[in-house]
Structure 1
Amino acid sequence: MQDLIDYVRERGWGLKYDRLGRRNGEYSRGLIKLTDRRLTAFTLRMTLAHEIGHAHHDHPWTDDPVVWKRHEREADIFAALLLISAEEYARAERIVGGHQGAIAKELNVTEKYVLLWRENYVHPRARLRHLRAV
């Protein structure tokens, strides 16, 4: 968790605990808020990573359900790529095999983030090949 807090501070975003009703977190104009309710360390970490995704994209608040859904997906993808490194993923896969749930448990992330990581991770060498072809 401290690594995520450091990530937030290094980028100059604010971080505070607040009463958020039923929400676990929110982002607005450079400030990430996490709920002041007692959450498990796991839920707090997933929430902070997700809100970092919103901060990274500087998503504004929206009532438009189409835009909201796109913002949520972008924040989740960023969180997955932030929380899972290629090395950690490979190690987890060697230990537990290819089962998404087992990998998620080994990496201490949600299954959704494992799926998003698989869908969106591009190996640096593949990026280089693409750049050379352009």
Structure 2
Amino acid sequence: MFDIEAYANTLGITVAYRPLPDHLPPAWWNPRSKTITVRKGLPRRKVRSLIAHELGHAHYGHTISTPKAERQADQYAARLLISEDDYRATEVAYGTNVEKLAFELDVTPNIIEAWRTLHERPKIYDDQRY
């Protein structure tokens, strides 16, 4: 399994775990300190997904949260955490249910959805021959 925290460290980014109140987001990127802060005590698959997502914000230089920034960060996380071979093998073994795929691939459902947006083929081409 890909060690996302070790990867962050290779980029010079520190991952800090803190007890955070519920009204704060479960994770965030601080570009000034090059730190990703994560709520302490979350399940591993959520932590992996959150760190990868925040690395996406770091990669793209996001400074505010917008729908586009969140989509880009999720897609970045999907590329980091899920290979096409792993996704396809898991889908063959367990079906297409997002929750089941997320559990088996050790990510959150939004990362599965983001992966799918990156690997969809337009429907118009499915049955056409050239």
TM-score range, shorter chain: 0.7 to 0.9
Q: How far 1:119 sits from its partner (Å)?
A: 1.4
Partner of 1:48: 51
How many angstroms apart in 1 are the aligned matches of 2:41 and 2:96? Answer: 33
Q: Which has the higher contact order (CA 8 A, sep 6+)?
A: 2
Partner of 1:6: 6
CA distance 1:96–1:28, change in 2 (3 Å) = same
CA distance 1:98–1:19, change in 2 (3 Å) = closer
* TM-score normalized with structure 2 length: 0.75
Aligned partner letter, 1:46? S
**Greater helix share, structure number:** 1
CA distance 1:6–1:104, change in 2 (3 Å) = same
How many angstroms apart in 2 are the aligned matches of 1:3 and 1:113? Answer: 16
Q: How far 1:75 sits from its partner (Å)?
A: 0.7
Q: Percent identity?
A: 32
* TM-score normalized with structure 1 length: 0.73
Q: List aligned pairs for 1:2-81, cutoff 5 A.
A: 3-21=3-21, 22-29=24-31, 30-35=34-39, 37-60=40-63, 62=64, 68-81=66-79
RMSD: 2.4
How many angstroms apart in 2 are the aligned matches of 1:40 and 1:101? Answer: 15
Unaligned 5+ runs, structure 1: 123-134
Q: How far 1:18 sits from its partner (Å)?
A: 3.4
What CA deviation, in whole Å up to 9, does each residue of 1:58-101 have, x standing for no partner? 211x3xxxx62221111111111111101101110221133333
Give the paired residue count: 117
How many angstroms apart in 1 are the aligned matches of 2:109 and 2:58? Answer: 23
Alignment check: 8 A CA contact 1:51 1:75 kept: yes
Unaligned 5+ runs, structure 2: 121-130
Alignment check: 8 A CA contact 1:54 1:71 kept: yes
Partner of 1:120: 118
Q: How far 1:2 sits from its partner (Å)?
A: 7.0
CA distance 1:110–1:18, change in 2 (3 Å) = closer
